[in-house]
A and B are shown apart, each in its own frame.
Chain A
Amino acid sequence: MHIIVVGLNYRTAPVEVRERFAFAEQELPKAIEMLKRTPSIMECVIVATCNRTELYAVVDRHVLCGHYIRHFMEQWFGMPREKFTKYLYMYEDEAAIRHLFRVACGLDSMIIGETQILGQVRDAFLLAQRERATGTLFNMLFKQAVTVGKRAHTETSIGESAVSVSYAAVELGKRIFGGFGGRTALIIGAGKMGELTAKHLNASGVKRVLVANRTYERAAEFAEKLGGQPLRLEDAAERLTEADVVISSTGSHEYVLTKAQVERAMRLRPSRPLFLIDIAVPRDIDPAIADIPNVFLYDIDDLEGIVESNLEQRRREAAKIETMIGEELEAFLNWYKTLGVVPLIRALQEKAARIHEETLRSLTNKLPDLTEHELKVIRKLTKSIVNQMMHDPILRIKEMAGDKKAREAMDLFVKLFALEDAVLRGETSARPQTSEARADERPDDAGTVRKTAGRFAAATP
Chain B
Amino acid sequence: MYGFAVHGLLVLYALSLLFYFSDFVSESRKVKRMGAGLLVFVWVIQTGWLIRRLLQLDGPSGLTRFETLFFFVWLLVTISLAASRVARIELFVFAVNVVGFSVLAAVAAEGPSAAPLERWDAGQYLLIVHISLALAAYALFTAGAVLSLMYLLLHRQLKSRNWNAVVRRMPSLETIDRYAFGAVLAGTPLLILSLAVALATLLMARGAEWLADWKVFAALVAAVAYIVYIAMRKRRMHPGLLTARWNLYAFCALLANSLIGAASRFHSWS
- Give me the interface of A with B, judged by CB distance under 8 Å: 154-157, 161, 172, 174-178, 270-273, 290, 293-294, 296, 298, 302, 305-306, 309-310, 313
Contact = CB atoms under 8 A, between A and B. Distances in A.
Contacts of A310: 163
Interface string B142-185: 00000000000010001101011101101111110000000000
B189 interface: no
A175 B240 contact: no
B213 interface: no
B30 interface: yes
A161 B163 CA distance: 11
A306 B163 CA distance: 6
Interface stretch (B43-51, B102-110, B202-210, B231-239): B231-239
B240 A155 contact: no
A305 B163 contact: yes
B149 to A, nearest CB: 17
B238 A155 contact: no
Nearest to A173: B172
12 contacts: A175-B154, A175-B170, A175-B172, A175-B173, A176-B158, A177-B172, A271-B236, A273-B174, A293-B241, A294-B241, A296-B159, A309-B164
Nearest to B172: A178
A157 B163 contact: no
Contacts of A298: 161
Nearest to A161: B168
Contacts of B173: 175-177, 273
B53 interface: no
B161 A294 contact: no
A150 B168 CA distance: 22
B265 interface: no
B175 A178 contact: yes
Contact of A178 (B29, B174, B236): B174
B238 A296 contact: no
Contacts of B239: 270-271, 273, 293-294
Interface of B: 27, 29-30, 154, 158-159, 161, 163-165, 167-168, 170-175, 236-243
B238 A270 contact: yes
Contact of A155 (B29, B165, B236, B237): B29
A175 B167 contact: yes
Contacts of A155: 29-30
Contacts of A293: 239, 241-242
A302 B241 CA distance: 23
Nearest to B161: A302
Given A175-B170, A271-B238, A294-B241, A157 B158 contact: no
A344 to B, nearest CB: 39
A178 B240 contact: no
Interface centre among A271, A294, A296 (most CB of B within 10 A): A271
B168 A176 contact: no
Contacts of A161: 168
Given A270-B238, A294-B241, A309 B163 contact: yes
Instruction: Give 5 closest A-B pairs by Cβ, nearest first.
Output: A178-B172, A271-B236, A294-B239, A178-B174, A306-B163
A156 B174 CA distance: 26
B238 A176 contact: no
B27 A178 contact: no
A181 to B, nearest CB: 11
Contacts of B161: 298, 302, 305
A1 B27 CA distance: 41
Contacts of A270: 236-239
Given A176-B158, A178-B175, 5 more contacts: A172-B158, A178-B172, A271-B238, A296-B158, A310-B163
Contact of B27 (A157, A271, A290, A306): A157
A177 B172 CA distance: 6
B164 A176 contact: no
Contact of B168 (A272, A302, A313): A313
A323 to B, nearest CB: 12
A271 B243 CA distance: 9
Contacts of B175: 178
Contacts of B172: 174-178
A174 B163 CA distance: 13
A174, A272, A293: which has the most chain B beta carbons within 10 Å? Answer: A293
Nearest to B157: A175
B159 A176 contact: no
Contacts of A176: 158, 172-174
Nearest to A291: B159
A258 B174 CA distance: 26
A156 B29 CA distance: 7
Contacts of B154: 175
Contacts of B168: 161, 313
B172 to A, nearest CB: 4
Contacts of A290: 159
A219 to B, nearest CB: 29
A290 B162 CA distance: 13
A156 B241 CA distance: 33
Nearest to B160: A290
Name the residue in B30, B174, B243 with the highest tally of chain A Cβ atoms < 10 Å from its Cβ.
B174
A121 to B, nearest CB: 23
A301 to B, nearest CB: 9
A27 to B, nearest CB: 41
Contact of A175 (B29, B30, B158): B158
Nearest to A154: B29
A106 to B, nearest CB: 17
Nearest to B236: A271
Contacts of A156: 29
